[in-house]
Each structure stands twice: as structure tokens, then as C-alpha cells.
Amino acid sequence: MEVKILGAGPAGLSAAITAVRRGNEAVVYERRADCGGRFKGDLQGLENWSSKIDVLEEFESRGIRTSGFYTAPFRELLLTEGRRGLRRVETSRPMFYLVKRGIVEGSIDQGLKKQAIEMGVRIEFNSCKTEKDVDIVATGPRRERIVAVDKGIVFSTSTEDIAVALINDKAAYKAYAYLLVTGGYGCMCTVVFGDLKKLDESFEETVRAFGGMFRFEVKNPVPVGGSASFYMGADGFVRNGRFYAGEAAGLQDAAFGFGIRSAVISGSMATESLIDGKDYKKEARGKYMRYMEATFTLRLLWEHGLARIYPDLYNAAGKINKEMPLWLSGLFYRDTLINRGLFPLAQRILGDRREEGRSATGVEGSKAFME
Ligand SMILES: Cc1cc2nc3c(=O)[nH]c(=O)nc-3n(C[C@H](O)[C@H](O)[C@H](O)COP(=O)(O)OP(=O)(O)OC[C@H]3O[C@@H](n4cnc5c(N)ncnc54)[C@H](O)[C@@H]3O)c2cc1C
């Protein structure tokens, strides 16, 4: 069969690669002129904490070749709220892998595109196809559900590799700002949740705060940024017979906005279900329902005290042993009694906020998600 896919992001390309790997044909319709056009060389993290399985191994196990794009493992993260100095967190295995996004050499977007084309996937760029023309929809965030925004710069630098997260509402309203450097390439950004109009002032504060903390060289800065949406509805994975994957299905870490891992895996799952005639909605809900609930709960905890103690908590965990910080993160993302118990509260509180019009932290999705 020929699997038709809308959107050539990580979810769509993974879906296409899976189709061909399973002996089928695949065509991907992409509205932009190239893969990764949504980004401009941003550094993003492939999180490695929500599962005990290493994210790169998980990709490989689904036939996604990870040697085709740049990945920089990080076992050390510096955390700060800006005033009381830096807290170092070290882990035994990588906490995350930095990847590049966009139409740039070595990006995950270009790496997946190359693999897909080499395997025989047909990608039609500048396409005007719509959802009704395809089997799998992987079109990324839904504009009407934007809940977080990000603004920053990427730059060349001679500064050594570093990863720092700044947790402070002035620099990153209800979220975090970050300074990342890998192999002479840097990225400094802020993320804002809910009150999206705070973005510019947050970024100004981010620049001021990191500038006060470190001496780092910034050459040839390029502005970057974007938005994220979380939505997990009863119609999230399957609608009108079509399968939805990645952010188009609302799959996204509602606490922190890490969506690449679930995009790649859900894209592959959508194709597997299509080919094998499996119930994709059931499969996807089985894998992601508790995960999404946990991330909503984590967002609630983050906004109600966890953010304030986070640097000290992780620093203390790392002092016990280097397994502990990842174990702790895993706990926040796993199906636990605490997460299950707190989820209805998260749903209610975040939902009330949405109804007040102050933010739409994805709760509409989470309500439908429970249906
Ligand atoms: C600034 C920023 C920073 C982020 N940082 C991280 C991070 O550190 N770690 C992480 O895991 N996640 C991060 N994310 C989230 C991550 O980028 C997304 O979750 C991930 O890219 C989702 O993949 P996707 O394939 O579902 O969608 P996308 O990557 O958005 O790909 C969708 C593709 O579909 C195309 N498309 C859209 N509509 C149509 C249409 N009608 N027809 C044809 N094509 C269409 C788009 O052009 C695009 O190429 C970040 C997001 C932003 C905005």
C-alpha cells in the first residue's frame, strides 16, 4: 500500500520511514519548501528521562537512524533561579541529547529527510494537499491551541559546552530559560507559558540574567522562536478515519514542551497501526494517556511550588547518586498513584484558568482526553 502523510516534521518523516521499512510505499506532502522550515537552527533537547529506554535506542528500534543527525549527549545540567548561584546536576546516563532543528546541516529534520529519501519515500514540497487527501496527519501544533511560546537567539561561539536552565518567572514566566552551547554553537532562549504577551520582557530579562552569570561569546546571532500546543482529545489520535501523530494529535509534554520524542514514536506507531489494521487510538492512548496526565500534573506542581525548589531538589538528588536525578524525573512522568490522584485537580485548576481567559494550558484537551 502507499501511505499518504501530511507534514514532513519528525512525526511525518518517522511515519514515512516506518512505512517503507515495512515494505510499503510512502508519500509525504509538506507545505513548506523544505523539512525543518519551522525552525532556524535552534538547539532542542531530546529528553531522555521519561522512560528508562534510551531515546536514541528507542528510535533505532523503530528503524529511525540516529547517526544521520547531530546528537550531543549531556550528563550535566546547571540549574539556577538567578539569585543563589548555580546548582550542578550530574547523571550517569545522558539526561538529554541536544539536536539541531531547521534547514541546517546536521539537523534532525534534514537527517530524517535524507534517510526517508534514501529509503524511497517521496516528499512533495510546497504542497497544497489537505487532511482529507491523506492517511496520517502530522502537521504540528494547532494554532488555535497555542499554550507556550519561545524566543531567543542561536549563535556561534568559542565558549565551552554548557547547559544551564534558569527558573525564574521574570526571565521565563511559569517556565524556564536556557543557555546551551555544544561544539561552538549556542542557543539562548526563554519559554513562557500561559501569559504569552510576557515573552519580550522575559527574553530581555533572560539576556540580562545570563549575561550577569557567565562570560560567553556571541557571534552572528540569529533570532529563533516558536510556539507549542497541547491537545489530547477524544478525537486527538483518530478523526474521520485519519490517524494523527505528534503535535497534531496534541502530543506534547504539557509541563515543559518536549515533543520530539513522542512525535517520532507516535508517527511510527500510526503507520504500524495502519499497516497491521490495529486500533491506533487504543494503542496510542495506551502509550500516552498516563504520560499526558502526568505532564499535566507536573505542570500543576511546577506552578505551585516545585519550580522554586527544583534546583535544590535536583542538586540534592544528584548528591545521593548519579542515577537519582533521572529516577526523580521518571517519577514525575510515570503512571504513579500520586500522578493519578492529582490529575483531576490539575485538570480543574488549569481548566479554571482557561475559563478565566488567562491561559489555555491545554486543559480543554485534557478533559476530552479522559472521555
Ligand atoms: C521554540 C521551540 C522549542 C522547542 N524545544 C523542544 C525541545 O527542546 N525538545 C523537544 O522535544 N521539543 C521541543 N519543542 C517541541 C517540538 O519542536 C515539537 O514537539 C516537534 O517538532 C513536533 O513534531 P511534529 O512532527 O509533530 O510537528 P512539526 O515539527 O511542527 O512538523 C510539522 C510539519 O508539518 C508541516 N505542515 C503543517 N501544516 C501543514 C499542511 N497543512 N500541509 C502540509 N504540511 C504541513 C509543517 O510545515 C512542518 O514541517 C520545541 C518547540 C518550539 C516551538
Question: 1-30: per-residue pLDDT in tens?
Answer: 999 999 999 999 999 999 999 999 999 999
pLDDT at 352: 53
Number of domains in the chain: 2
CA 299 to chain centre: 14
Q: What is the mean pLDDT of the chain?
A: 90
Residue 361, pLDDT score: 41
227 CB within 6 A, ligand 1: yes
Whether the CB of 139 sits within 6 Å of ligand 1: yes
The span from the CA of 215 to the CA of 217, in Å, is: 7
What's the average pLDDT block by block, 10 residues per block, for the chain (371 residues)?
Answer: 97 98 98 95 95 96 97 97 88 97 97 98 97 97 77 96 96 95 97 87 96 92 85 72 93 90 98 97 93 91 93 93 93 91 85 46 36 25
Instruction: Report if residue 93 sits inside a domain.
Output: no
Among the three residues 268, 284, 300, which one is the final residue of a domain in this structure? 284
Same domain as 305, residue 251? no
CATH number of the CATH domain containing 135: 3.50.50.60
Contact at 8 Å (CB) between 271 and 22?
A: yes
Q: Are residues 362 and 274 in the same domain?
A: no
Does 131 lie in the same domain as 59?
A: yes
Which residue has a Cα nearest atom 11 of ligand 1? 258
Regarding the beta carbon of 259 and ligand 1, being less than 6 Å apart is answered: yes
Answering whether pTM is above 0.85, one says yes
Q: Whose CA is nearest to atom 38 of ligand 1?
A: 139
Residues with Cβ within 8 Å of residue 226, at least 6 apart in sequence: 38, 39, 42, 149, 150
Q: What is the pLDDT of residue 351?
A: 64
Sort strands 72-74 and 96-102 into parallel, antiparallel or unpaired.
antiparallel
Give 301's strand partners. none
Q: 89 lies in a domain? A: no
Q: Which structural domain, as residue segments, surrounds residue 124?
A: 2-42+55-65+103-144+229-284
* Mutational test site, ligand 1, from 5, 28, 38, 130, max ligand atoms within 8 Å of CB: 38
* Torsion, Cα of 227, 74, 162, 186 (10° steps): -40
Residue 169 lies in a domain: no
192 lies in a domain?
no
Ligand 1 pocket test, candidate residues 31, 35, 199, 231, most atoms within 8 A of CB: 31
| Cβ neighbours for 134, distance < 8 A, ≥ 6 positions apart | 4, 5, 6, 29, 242
